[in-house]
Amino acid sequence: MQLSVVALLGALALPSAAVPHARDEGQCKQTTVAILGGGMAGIAAAQTLHNASMEDFMILEYRDTIGGRAWHEPFGQDKDGNPYIIEMGCNWVQGLGTPGGPQNPVWTLAHVYNLSTVYSNYSNVSTYNQHGYKDYSHLIDAWDDAYDTAAAQAGVMLLDNLQDQTAKTGLALAGWRPKVDDMEAQAVDWWSWDFEDAYTPLESSFIFGVAGQNLTENGFSDEDNFVIDQRGYSHIIHGMASTFLKPNDTRLLLNNHITNISYSDSGVTIHSADGSCVRASYAICTFSLGVLQNHAVTFTPSLPEWKQEAIEGFTMGTYTKIFLQFNETFWPEDTQYFLYADPYMRGYYPVFQSLSTEGFFPGSNIIFVTVTEQFAWRAERQSDEKTKEEVLDVLRKMFPEKTIPEPIAFMYPRWTLEPWSYGSYSNWPPSTTLEMHENLRANAGRLWFAGEATSPTYFGFLHGAWFEGQAAGMEISRILNGTCSSSSKTNGTCSGRKHYETLHGTTPLADYSFVDGWDGNSFYDYNDD
């Protein structure tokens, strides 16, 4: 069974074993397990190996620091001239947990490392259109009612192994049918779906889109907390790493740009742009789906066709937060969210969030707006000045009675152009089956895969990356110490994860090798395989 959070935290207190230095043999450094990527999945995999008393591993990270898509930057300044730390990437702990019940492991880590967070009150939202304030909050209530009906139907469909459909179809059958020219309803549609998934309901799986949210909201809780810690969200990932990495640990290779991965049934060799290489018995690839889809790294031999189909079959969302700091807070200080319905374009600078609100960074005069998919791509490919001009134009429509000045600070990331990410997080498209996802997750020879995209239950979430990194670390440690279960052995050796050479359409849930069942709210734990 998956390692419990209690067991993990107990292991954090254990003293680190002596760390062997990598053995230089020939041109390649030698190690038993190479972990490709130092984000949440990679660090969770390394920590799991460490907890299994396996210390001969290396972590190869593209950037000059670990943390992956938990990425923060300094922005603006406070009254003392010090910059605020804001999150370019993941910003929420989503689905916290209930007293005495299941707890999100990221929320547990937030407690362990005293991460500062604030409750996100999604009910604290004001609605606007091109003429200013306009109360259309009744549409949010209507969407919520339809979603509850749709979610129940999605559970039935999954249990009965029925064909998937678009989330748009599922919501329409439950009564939510926003007209194309009803821009207020379209804004609510964006707020209620795209704001989470980074894709429209038309481009998202109904069954797995609903299941992914329910597994977090019902499996843990429906509360989300916004991270405001001035050490950055990645502080918890650095905290995890500190339990097994020493200062200047030679097993952590930063600024390592991997260009080629050669893999077989006997080992894996990783080549980097600086001419260095690492030879390992096993490797865990934690690259984002975007990196895999952009062919940023070559594989020798080419990945099997079933693997390539799976990689191309899923989608990588883009979720871009655009930050502005002003010399005053001209928006209502007691409101967290501001929903804007553009008269012409769905998803055009639709949701602003105040960081000047009490509990966040009061007095900071910081607000940010989120765009996704086509408008994120557009913003990331145009100049800061052009984007700033467009955002200010929207704000002036929302608050026509105010004189809105130029911002004193302005910043946003360009996720689709980052060569170590190429996007923000994955999404499950409609009619993409469990078999296809299992192929995405399956190993190719001794090359294993982990990350939020490989999680069937928590794809798109940071805790999905944690679970998947831990699972890959556990499975490889079992292979190395000879304790993998008999059901996963072939001719006396552990054969790895199941994959499908031929896809069979909708997959009976019972055939899905590492998910035991569905109880209407959550998949059961990973099994021993």
Domain ranges within the chain, ordered by starting residue: 29-68+232-313+430-483+494-508, 137-218
- Which architecture, in CATH terms, is 29-68+232-313+430-483+494-508? 3-Layer(bba) Sandwich (3.50)
Q: How far apart are CA 259 and CA 228, in angstroms?
A: 35
Task: Give every residue of the chain whose pLDDT is below 70, as ranges.
Answer: 1-26, 156, 158-162, 485-495, 506-529
Position 211 scores a pLDDT of: 85
Concatenating the DSSP letter of every residue in 267-328 gives -EEEEETTS-EEEEEEEEE---HHHHHTT-SEEESPPPHHHHHHHHHSEEE-EEEEEEE-SS
- SS3 state at 237: helix
- For residue 397, CA distances in Å to 137, 275, 333 come to 19, 54, 18
For residues 399, 403, 407, 412, the Cα torsion angle rounded to the nearest 10 degrees is 20
Say which residue the tokens 């990645």 belong to. Answer: 234
Position 509 scores a pLDDT of: 52
Determine which helix (DSSP H) or strand (DSSP E) holds 244, and give its type and residue range.
none
Give me the helix-helix angle, 462-481 and 105-112, nearest 10°: 90
Exposure b/e, 19-38, CB count within 10 A at least 16 = b: beebeeeeebbbbbbbbbbb
Determine which helix (DSSP H) or strand (DSSP E) holds 130, and give its type and residue range.
none
Position 409 scores a pLDDT of: 98
pTM confidence score: 0.90
Phi, psi for 281 (deg, rounded to 5): -70, -35
Kindly state the tokens that stand for 81: 């001239």
Q: How far apart are CA 302 and CA 55, in angstroms?
A: 30
- The number of beta carbons lying within 10 Å of the beta carbon of residue 456 is 21
Query: Based on C-alpha coordinates, what's the Rg of the chain?
Result: 23
Q: How far apart are CA 254 and CA 251, in angstroms?
A: 10
Closest alpha carbon to 464 in 499, 435, 426, 421: 426
Let me know: does 93 contact 117? Beta carbons within 8 Å.
yes
Q: How far apart are CA 516 and CA 473, in angstroms?
A: 20
Q: For residue 27, give the DSSP letter.
A: T
Q: For residue 201, give the DSSP letter.
A: G
Position 145 scores a pLDDT of: 96
Position 26 scores a pLDDT of: 54
Q: How far apart are CA 256 and CA 60, in angstroms?
A: 6
* Direct distance between the N- and C-terminal alpha carbons of the chain, in angstroms, rounded to an integer: 9
Let me know: does 203 contact 150? Beta carbons within 8 Å.
no
